[in-house]
Structure 1
């Protein structure tokens, strides 16, 4: 290690304070944005308490960060040397074994190994963009490995203690089953279900595989006991599996690979996959193939933990109902004879609950048209006002400069839209897609709020004419044609930039066809209005246009805010405190979590206050002008 450091210092002497500063800035930005989180200072959970172990972990991130900075500067050769240094450090650090949860740490170590191989491959191909992405992935994976290693003992303690609380009732229920005392067995089982609600969180956080298996075993015990007649042998076997898993997990003797992966065993990885599975089960029940339907429902139960968080955030009522209905439907299917009518009824209810949650389209052609109509009509009003004032001045050249400025602004807007779209398309690949969607939507919210306030401040004709006169009158008085060009160009560029931001924020939640229909219809309307206003000097009710546009933009602000925060919750970037009593209104972007409700409430109060304040000021201005 020291030889490597000496070699690097000799070969790259310029990498002194500047490189360290850049690296510190990079780490700060990544920490601040949540890309990586700083590891704990303590070394609890390590198999060995020697300082060298902590130093090995602490030495992993700096060379990756350095390589990332160099890749961003196009210095791929030097980035390759940093990655080679990391490879040597990793070969030593990856052999460390924590006291608990060795399988979880091994999983994160495997991710680091894959990310390291991809980074080396990208660097060898001299592809700067691919190298930056691969190195960023390597930095995240390394940070996850460090956190998993250091937090293994702390998290496993909480999970094991939670499992220990379930064990007494699980053993009582098993003992009662073996003695044929099913009333006592059911009472003990109900206590397990009641206690599970308070113990599942720490178990899930510590070991998702154990959590998934426990949910499966608890549900299958219930199914066996609810069957008509009761499947006593199967219930006993499932309870025995539950007791064994709780015992091994709480004692820390769970073997690596003993718990199966939920997504691999079920073949389901998303809410849409789960809905398709339910639809297939419904068809099997209707066809009388209850054996296949029972297998499918078991797959559903296994896969449910993978998506239950998303369902709970979107609809707590649906989450609670499905938790009960999946076991109820299975009980009807495995009964002898199977109760296909009841099973079909329950599965159909489950499908109806999940369908709204899997819909990918949140916005319609009307929403898409609204954005372009609002921004486009504003741009037309600005342009028509500029041309009207130029015409009054009697300078024909001024009109040409205004049109040239407007054309330049339109071209720059189109270029900006393309750049933003391509940038976000790259950034939103993979698991970060919803996170990017959330942040983009929040940026649109901020922009729309500022635009809405500006528009409402111009919602009377006197204020509008005063605004135009200040912008154009000054340029004409100075005889500055370039000023007219700049005013026209910046006005159109501003509207175009706003439109691009709005559409990028909306794009993930609307079908392409709906967006194109909305934009096309709005464009046709704008062409007609532009000809009428500019060519024939048709007057629009400026006050009512701006007031209406303000109300519409505030609707989009409210909805964008809820949808964007929801995307961050689904991506696990933001937490979710679900409250079933809070309203769930899809077309308003309202979800039953405090994280969405409180910001929307504050924004609503701000918008109402701003509307009232501006209306009062406008009324006072009109009364003064009439005196």
Structure 2
């Protein structure tokens, strides 16, 4: 018994720290929702912002707010956010989301208290000797020693920056920026120690002010990935004009903007984040000295394209959404009206109602399938895996599109189409079964509806809800007009040209969705990214200049061409 008692006490001792750790609440999902909402606000995607705000509110309701003073501030900030959301104006919404973020930080500190003063003293103890030695080297204008001390500072900053970021994003940005400026100045061939002293003083003051607990407010500017792209574009233009030194101010501004948007890069491409943070000061230093100008320009172009690849994810338009519904709807209408025309020729017009009944049942089943898939897809798409799901479902959609395109091409021959219809309807009439006749119509509609749902699943994560619905609405209006024409002139429809045009359309969409889907997997690092520098980025076509996207698209084009040649030969 004594041994059991000792063992029991030992287990309590070992497990007690675990219990304390488990007691700490994790509010990471709340901060992720706020960050994503800020990104979507900057992009003007208000449907996505609305969904993220609703998710944030729902997640907040699940948080234990017992005996919390800061919880009221979070409630007030979320209410302010919802009011700003109704106005759909960028600046008020960003300000409201910033207030939510600050309120959540205060709430988290209240629930999981840390000794911030002790952390600041930890930062002071780590940086004071390095800054002292760095100052001495700068005063002596000892460039080699100054760079060695800078490297020590950078190494220590990597270890301690998390403390600064958690306590003050404003000081984090200021120290990060001045560190970049210092490296840039030390990398210049002709070093300006007056400039270096000024940068050092600003850096040392920022560290000292943070350590003393002085408050520094962050400026709320609408910086985004596009801001970085624009600055790199200007720097590239300056180098192109044979003025490499004129590019340096743009790279300095890049470093100033960087702390405000680095999170967008870090969460999408960790290796690119590290390269930009490390290499932009080096590039600026070499351009200032006129060293390896062409090589530095090549890097600027590469980084610009890399950031564009991060930004160019949502590239579907209203017309992309409309074309899918239009193509599938036209095919379904064509089949139904052809069935009706067949009945009329067979003097069985009284059986038309069963075709319409089957079509109606197909529509109902398609809607039911859409509701089920939408619920399943939405649940699965939550969190970090939504990009992966977009990529996988998009590739599945492409495979289905190839099959549909081949079927359309085969039926573009009038003889083949007539044989297809006679086979389907002949089976129904020979049995004399009303059920089988309705079933032919049902399958014609349901097959198209089911395919449309799969196609939209691949597209949905990369287009706003408003654009998707608008595209569908446009398609419905056009389909209604075609339905009247088909019913009136069903016996005079030119089947061949219609199916050939539909074939070209479906292959175009397959090419685009394949590129966008693989790119979505690249963003989540599920697929590697190897850029092809000379090729342009064309988001409207789903063309991204990487070997991983181009090679599958080339293979797709080859499959399409080989299939088309075989079908044409067989038709002849």
- Provide TM-score, normalisation by structure 2: 0.57
Return closer, same or farther for 1:351/1:597 CA change in 2, 3 Å cut-off.
closer
Aligned partners of 1:89 and 1:271: how far apart in 2? 50
Q: Given the alignment of the two structures, is residue 529 of structure 1 paired with residue 485 of structure 2, yes or no? A: no
Q: Given the alignment of the two structures, is residue 231 of structure 1 paired with residue 195 of structure 2, yes or no? A: yes
Aligned partners of 1:207 and 1:544: how far apart in 2? 67
After superposition, residues 362-511 of structure 1 pair within 5 angstroms as 362-511=315-464
8 Å Cα contact 2:184/2:282 also seen in 1 = no
Match 1:306 to one of 252, 257, 263: 263
Aligned partners of 2:223 and 2:563: how far apart in 1? 40
Aligned partners of 1:366 and 1:394: how far apart in 2? 41
User: C-alpha deviations, 1:494-545, integer Å up to 9, x for none?
Assistant: 1111112222322332344433443233222222222222223352332222
User: C-alpha deviations, 1:388-444, integer Å up to 9, x for none?
Assistant: 222233334421111100111011112222222232223222333323322332222
For structure 2, the 5+ residue unaligned runs are 1-10, 31-58, 64-130, 166-171, 206-210, 235-249, 289-302
Kindly tell me the number of residue pairs found equivalent between the two proteins: 418
RMSD: 5.6
Aligned partners of 1:383 and 1:325: how far apart in 2? 65
Aligned partners of 1:612 and 1:302: how far apart in 2? 55
Offset of residue 563 of structure 1: 0.9
User: C-alpha deviations, 1:45-79, integer Å up to 9, x for none?
Assistant: xxxxxxxxxxx9xxxxxxxxxxxxxxxxxxxxxxx
User: C-alpha deviations, 1:128-187, integer Å up to 9, x for none?
Assistant: xxxxxxxxxxxxxxxxxxxxxxxxxxxxxxxxxxxxxxxxxx9x99996464133x4698
**Could you say which residue in structure 1 is the equivalent of 2:504?**
551
Aligned partners of 1:235 and 1:390: how far apart in 2? 86
User: C-alpha deviations, 1:537-569, integer Å up to 9, x for none?
Assistant: 352332222122112111111111111122222
8 Å Cα contact 1:174/1:185 also seen in 2 = no
Aligned partners of 2:559 and 2:218: how far apart in 1? 48
Aligned partners of 1:272 and 1:428: how far apart in 2? 25
Return closer, same or farther for 1:313/1:507 CA change in 2, 3 Å cut-off.
farther
After superposition, residues 476-625 of structure 1 pair within 5 angstroms as 476-537=429-490, 539-570=492-523, 572=524, 574-581=526-533, 583=535, 584-619=537-572
For structure 1, the 5+ residue unaligned runs are 1-55, 57-87, 97-105, 123-169, 242-257, 259-263, 283-292, 333-349, 620-627
Partner SS for 2:531? coil
8 Å Cα contact 2:512/2:541 also seen in 1 = yes
Aligned partners of 2:553 and 2:13: how far apart in 1? 48
Offset of residue 445 of structure 1: 1.5
Partner SS for 1:477? helix
**Could you say which residue in structure 1 is the equivalent of 2:123?**
none
Aligned partners of 2:405 and 2:489: how far apart in 1? 29
Offset of residue 278 of structure 1: 9.3
- Provide TM-score, normalisation by structure 1: 0.53
8 Å Cα contact 1:581/1:592 also seen in 2 = yes
User: C-alpha deviations, 1:237-264, integer Å up to 9, x for none?
Assistant: 79999xxxxxxxxxxxxxxxx9xxxxx9
Aligned partners of 1:575 and 1:207: how far apart in 2? 32
Return closer, same or farther for 1:294/1:462 CA change in 2, 3 Å cut-off.
closer
Aligned partners of 2:335 and 2:501: how far apart in 1? 18
Aligned partners of 2:346 and 2:160: how far apart in 1? 76
User: C-alpha deviations, 1:177-204, integer Å up to 9, x for none?
Assistant: 464133x4698799x8xxx9xx9xxx99
Aligned partners of 1:353 and 1:598: how far apart in 2? 19
Aligned partners of 2:492 and 2:223: how far apart in 1? 52
Offset of residue 455 of structure 1: 1.4
User: C-alpha deviations, 1:304-340, integer Å up to 9, x for none?
Assistant: 54333678799x9xx97996389959x99xxxxxxxx
Aligned partners of 1:446 and 1:219: how far apart in 2? 48
Aligned partners of 1:495 and 1:466: how far apart in 2? 20
Return closer, same or farther for 1:371/1:512 CA change in 2, 3 Å cut-off.
same
| Bigger shift: residues 295-304 or 409-418 | 295-304
User: C-alpha deviations, 1:90-144, integer Å up to 9, x for none?
Assistant: 9579489xxxxxxxxx8999759999xx9xx89xxxxxxxxxxxxxxxxxxxxxx
After superposition, residues 1-12 of structure 1 pair within 5 angstroms as none
Aligned partners of 2:219 and 2:389: how far apart in 1? 27
8 Å Cα contact 1:435/1:573 also seen in 2 = no
| Bigger shift: residues 413-422 or 360-369 | 360-369
Return closer, same or farther for 1:416/1:325 CA change in 2, 3 Å cut-off.
farther
Return closer, same or farther for 1:386/1:602 CA change in 2, 3 Å cut-off.
same
Partner SS for 1:231? helix
Offset of residue 299 of structure 1: 5.8
Offset of residue 450 of structure 1: 1.6
Aligned partners of 2:270 and 2:543: how far apart in 1? 11
Aligned partners of 1:451 and 1:277: how far apart in 2? 39
Return closer, same or farther for 1:472/1:174 CA change in 2, 3 Å cut-off.
farther
Return closer, same or farther for 1:505/1:353 CA change in 2, 3 Å cut-off.
closer
Aligned partners of 2:221 and 2:270: how far apart in 1? 18
